[in-house]
């Protein structure tokens, strides 16, 4: 195919391949314009019926003209031997490649990308076009930060064809809406569900509906079995988490009405974070792509100031639940945040009051404030505990406060009773005020009543002596943290302080794309042990079979050495987009398109 001509386009090189098509870089013969040529695989374009359907779908979407939608220049006719679409060529990377590189992205960057995707979807939906296959592989970030949504109409073509899911051609089921999984009629709200799944993946680094095969994934989607965003990543924007939760409702009627509504919510996320891209272009996606680590560090420093100020204001105004959500995010980054701990410790709790609450509301509010302060502290403590696995999560258990009977204070009334009254064997239930239950909105809020259980004295052993371990990474990557083979933290990126039992333990930090870090450590009761984990990206190995030792190797324009100097094995960071591997050999020059993932082992043989 390379070097040939399709219609009026010269095929220059292969730049990618997927389950349904191969993508080539091409050039218009007369206009000399660089284009992308997507050629459907032969088994899709073999029948006349499929070619006619493909041409019909191409005509339906060719009029879409939007800055955030990949522009279609041309397409094959129904009589053409090959089915192909010619589009603008985008120099950039897909969101899938970005996720592989970064693990996850900040909430505010996801909101920026989401706004542009909503604008593209709103435009398409108004034109009567539904995407049907929204996923990270179909979204590109151009080098200048422009978001491009690709492959409109292709999913519809595949849906109507006889291709089955086992051929992996309809796209990953992980982002499908429940109605699409059930093969029911879909509308624009199906795309909104897929958008929520995509945003979920971007900010948590995990699929919302994982599974070992498509059947399990689709069943979880239909039944709505997934963790909440804040369960996986308490450090993300709570406003964005709320938006995603609404997007991913199983019933389409419970989602947003249209993409424009979603865009408004995502702009509110940016406004709440104090980001104004029109006045402050240093927060745009282009700046992020230039130096992601610097952009993320600058954002966190900015949010430390903005969120703390907003939290203080909400707390002083009595809006404790909003303050709780803001403080939770800051505590997820820094569990020992001095300003928040000082604010909570400075809160004055009311003195003991009679069992019957006073009628004066001014006397009742301090008590409610104290309960809320305890809620905030309790939720902050909860986030420091090892999270449950994302799929097998269980409801938050009621808080059990146990106290030995012989240590309970005895009131004067009880002292006059002879013999002492017997304790009611049934647990006493302390209800939160109804107004607090109505306002509780955070997924981590304690909406169940607290149960006060007074057990008989027991000879249970003393609780274990607790200690702490502070875990950080020495490189811009991520890792899951295991202590004694038990998962205690998902997707570590920033330093975290984790609780453990005093003594000797083995810690392991790993992700599928990097080497594993393992270390044994001993920590005393109440002490904090610091561990800096080193994760190195797995190298991709390319074995050069049958090539002359004198061949000089160049990868993406960079000299790598000769076959002889490398002992016939090339070890490189895996190019996640096609990179040209060139060999200058005595027999003549040769080139190959190289693409892979960390840890891959490939063999190139002499032609």
Name the 3-class secondary structure at 16. Answer: strand
CA distance 517 to 496: 16
Q: Please indicate whether residue 293 is annotated as part of the active site.
A: no
CA distance 328 to 315: 13
Q: Where are the alpha helices (DSSP H) in 127-187?
A: 154-160, 178-181
CA distance 300 to 310: 15
DSSP-derived secondary structure letter, 404: -
CA distance 469 to 519: 12
Q: What tokens does 278 get?
A: 């029109």
Q: Where are the alpha helices (DSSP H) in 138-284?
A: 154-160, 178-181, 188-204, 214-223, 229-232, 238-247, 259-272
Tokens 């049907």 belong to residue: 132
CA distance 121 to 258: 9
Rounded to 5 degrees, φ, ψ at 510 are -155, 160
Among candidate residues 396, 477, 397, 493, the one with its CA nearest the CA of residue 442: 396
Name the 3-class secondary structure at 102. Answer: helix
Name the 3-class secondary structure at 493. Answer: coil
Name the 3-class secondary structure at 419. Answer: coil
Burial class from Cβ neighbours inside 10 Å (0-12, 13-18, 19+) for residue 238 reads buried
Burial class from Cβ neighbours inside 10 Å (0-12, 13-18, 19+) for residue 291 reads exposed
Burial 271-285 (b: 16+ CB within 10 A, else e): ebbbbebeeeeebbb
List 74, 79, 133, 187, catalytic entry = 133
Rounded to 5 degrees, φ, ψ at 570 are -100, 125
> Residue 419, preceding bond cis, omega within 30 degrees?
yes
Contacts of 157 (CB under 8 A, 6+ apart): 53, 54, 57
Contacts of 599 (CB under 8 A, 6+ apart): 512, 513, 538, 539, 540, 574
Q: How many other C-beta atoms can be found within 10 angstroms of the C-beta atom of residue 344?
A: 16
Name all contacts of 290-297 with Cβ < 8 Å and 24+ positions apart: 292/102, 292/476, 293/476, 295/109, 296/106
Name the 3-class secondary structure at 352. Answer: coil
Furthest-apart CA atoms within the chain: distance in Å: 108
Write down how long the chain is: 607
Active site residues: 133
């Amino acid at each position: 195919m390379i070097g040939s001509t399709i219609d009026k386009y010269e095929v220059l090189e292969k730049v990618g391949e997927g389950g349904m098509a191969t993508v080539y870089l091409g050039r218009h013969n007369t206009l000399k314009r660089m284009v992308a040529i997507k050629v459907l695989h032969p088994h899709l374009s073999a029948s006349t019926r499929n070619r006619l359907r493909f041409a019909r779908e191409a005509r339906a979407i060719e009029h879409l003209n939007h800055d955030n939608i990949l522009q279609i220049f041309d397409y094959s006719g129904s009589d053409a031997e090959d089915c192909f679409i010619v589009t603008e060529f985008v120099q950039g990377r897909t969101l899938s490649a970005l996720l592989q590189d970064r693990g996850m992205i900040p909430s505010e960057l996801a909101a920026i990308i989401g706004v542009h995707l909503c604008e593209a979807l709103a435009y398409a939906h108004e034109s009567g076009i539904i995407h049907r296959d929204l996923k990270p592989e179909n979204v590109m970030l151009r080098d200048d930060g422009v978001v491009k949504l690709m492959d409109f109409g292709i999913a519809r073509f595949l849906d109507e064809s006889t291709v089955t899911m086992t051929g992996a051609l309809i796209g990953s089921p992980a982002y499908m809406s429940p109605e699409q999984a059930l093969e029911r009629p879909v509308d624009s709200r199906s795309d909104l569900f897929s958008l929520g799944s995509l945003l979920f993946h971007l900010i948590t680094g995990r699929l919302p509906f994982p599974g070992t095969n498509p059947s399990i994934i689709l069943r979880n989607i239909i039944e709505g079995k997934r963790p909440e965003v804040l369960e996986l990543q308490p450090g993300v924007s709570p406003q964005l988490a709320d938006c995603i939760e609404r997007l991913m409702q199983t019933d389409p009627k419970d989602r947003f009405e249209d993409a424009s509504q979603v865009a408004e919510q995502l702009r509110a996320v940016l406004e709440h974070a104090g980001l104004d891209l029109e006045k402050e272009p240093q927060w745009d996606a282009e700046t992020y792509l230039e130096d992601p680590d610097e952009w993320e560090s600058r954002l966190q420093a900015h949010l430390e100031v903005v969120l703390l100020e907003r939290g203080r204001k909400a707390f002083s105004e009595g809006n404790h639940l909003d303050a709780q959500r803001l403080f939770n995010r800051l505590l997820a980054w820094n569990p020992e945040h001095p300003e928040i701990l000082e604010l909570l410790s400075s809160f004055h709790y009311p003195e003991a009051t009679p069992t019957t609450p006073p009628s004066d509301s001014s006397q009742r509010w301090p008590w409610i404030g104290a309960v809320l302060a305890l809620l905030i502290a309790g939720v902050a403590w909860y986030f420091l505990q090892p999270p449950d696995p994302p799929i097998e999560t269980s409801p938050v258990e009621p808080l059990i406060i146990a106290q030995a009977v012989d240590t309970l204070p005895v009131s004067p009334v009880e002292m006059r009773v002879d013999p002492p009254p017997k304790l009611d064997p049934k647990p006493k239930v302390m209800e939160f005020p109804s107004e607090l239950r109505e306002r509780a909105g955070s997924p981590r809020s304690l909406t169940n009543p607290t149960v006060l259980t007074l057990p008989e004295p027991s000879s249970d052993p003393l609780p274990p002596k607790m200690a702490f371990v502070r875990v950080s990474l020495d490189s811009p990557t991520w890792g899951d943290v295991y202590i004694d083979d038990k998962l205690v933290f998902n997707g570590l990126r920033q330093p975290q302080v984790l609780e453990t039992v005093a003594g000797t333990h083995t810690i392991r930090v790993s992700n599928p794309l990097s080497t594993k870090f393992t270390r044994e450590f001993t920590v005393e009761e109440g002490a904090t042990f610091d561990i800096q984990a080193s994760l190195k990206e797995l190298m991709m190995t390319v074995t050069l079979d049958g090539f002359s030792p004198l061949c000089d190797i160049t990868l993406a324009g960079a000299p790598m050495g000769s076959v002889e100097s490398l002992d016939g094995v090339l070890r490189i960071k895996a190019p996640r987009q096609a990179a040209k591997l060139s060999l200058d050999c005595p027999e003549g020059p040769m080139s190959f398109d190289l693409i892979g993932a960390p840890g891959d082992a490939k063999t190139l043989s002499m032609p």
